[in-house]
Amino acid sequence: MKLIGIVIAVMLIGQAIVLAGVLPMIPIFNQDGDTASLESLAADPDGTQFAELVDWDSENFVSYWEQGLTPETYEEILDMGRDIYIAEGCSQCHTQQVRTVGNDVERYGDASTLRGQNNDLNAPQLLGTHRVGPDLANEGGLRSNAWHIAHFWNPRDVIPNSIMPSYQWFFEDKGVLNEKGYAIIAYMQWLGSYNPVAPADEE
Ligand code: HEC
């Protein structure tokens, strides 16, 4: 009797490993295409919402990046934006994963896909687990640059009962961004812009 019990236990453990451990890994190996490099993500800064921010006060911008906005500086800025997002603990309050359950898509836009996550700026992914604030996976283009400037200076100036901290160290002075401010807004305006269009949508 004891032996049967042990055999069944081993089988159930094996089943659990396959169902919860091996099967979920299959989509990772089935991804088609290579991981998009940071270089390719930053290849075309012209026409982005961030380029508008640079134009708006280019004198201030070139005091930080004297070459102006080029693919090389944009690459550096996006990478820095991601680092600041990590360092400031933004993902303690924000997720970057729109799920297909509940009303996620209704609230936050297109569901996140493996292909969309498959790029250097999402490695490793900053999916997050807490939604004290809204999901940011599709934040790019949702708000104007001016909105972000006002919001990072003091969230309560735009959302009266916001509990998001203010980030005045992203600024030289009120309304004047410093290096960090440019980088975090570039990253915000980039989020979701890299979602590849599904072939079905293209039609
Ligand atoms: C203590 C939790 C908390 C932290 C930490 C936090 N946020 Fe927020 N965030 C919120 C809340 C709550 C809101 C919703 C109210 C508002 O818009 O201020 C929000 C809103 C936002 C929005 C507006 C989203 C939209 O379009 O409605 C952006 C962008 C944002 N946060 C970015 C950041 C970034 C970047 C950081 C890190 C530098 C950060 N947040 C840190 C709580 C937080």
Task: Give me the amino acid identity at 41.
Answer: L
pLDDT at 138 over 80: yes
Is 92 close to ligand 1, i.e. is its CB under 6 Å away?
A: yes
DSSP letter, residue 123: S
Residue 200's pLDDT band, with cuts at 50, 70 and 90, is: low
Residue 26's pLDDT band, with cuts at 50, 70 and 90, is: confident
Upstream peptide bond of 124 is cis (omega within 30 degrees of 0): yes
Reported as a single tens digit per residue, the pLDDT across 152-161 is 999 999 999 9
Interior angle at CA 52, CA 49 and CA 55, nearest 5: 155
What was the pLDDT predicted at 95? 96
Q: Separation of 199 CA from ligand 1 center, angstroms? A: 33
Q: Residue with the nearest Cα to atom 15 of ligand 1?
A: 162
Residue 27 and residue 25: Cα distance in Å, rounded? Answer: 6
Provide mean pLDDT across the span 79-88. 97
Q: Separation of 67 CA from ligand 1 center, angstroms? A: 31
What sign for the dihedral angle of Cα 58, 158, 181, 98? negative
Is 119 close to ligand 1, i.e. is its CB under 6 Å away?
A: no
Reported as a single tens digit per residue, the pLDDT across 52-76 is 999 999 999 999 999 999 999 999 9
Q: Separation of 140 CA from ligand 1 center, angstroms? A: 14
What was the pLDDT predicted at 32? 61
Between 89 and 31, name the one with better pLDDT.
89
What was the pLDDT predicted at 196? 60
Residue 33 and residue 162: Cα distance in Å, rounded? Answer: 41
Neighbour-count burial of 78, counting CB atoms closer than 10 A to its CB (0-12 exposed, 13-18 middle, 19+ buried)? buried
pTM of the predicted structure, to 2 decimals: 0.85
Between 118 and 168, name the one with better pLDDT.
168
Q: Separation of 138 CA from ligand 1 center, angstroms? A: 13
Contact (CB, 8 A) for 77 and 193: no
Contact (CB, 8 A) for 191 and 141: no
What was the pLDDT predicted at 49? 95
Given the CA of residue 151, which atom of ligand 1 is nearest to it?
A: 18
Residue 142 and residue 132: Cα distance in Å, rounded? Answer: 19
Q: Whole-number mean pLDDT of the chain?
A: 91
Residue 131's pLDDT band, with cuts at 50, 70 and 90, is: very high
pLDDT at 202 over 60: no
DSSP assignment of 152-184: HH-HHHHSTT--PPP-GGGEEETTEE-HHHHHH
Q: Separation of 2 CA from ligand 1 center, angstroms? A: 57
Is 50 close to ligand 1, i.e. is its CB under 6 Å away?
A: no
Least confident of 8-12, 27-31, 116-120: 27-31
What was the pLDDT predicted at 114? 80
Q: Which helix (H) or strand (E) holds 114?
A: helix 114-117
Residue 133 and residue 135: Cα distance in Å, rounded? Answer: 7
Contact (CB, 8 A) for 95 and 129: yes
Q: 100 Cβ partners below 8 Å, 6+ apart?
A: 111
Counting residues of the chain whose pLDDT is more than 90, the rounded percentage is: 74
pLDDT at 128 over 90: yes
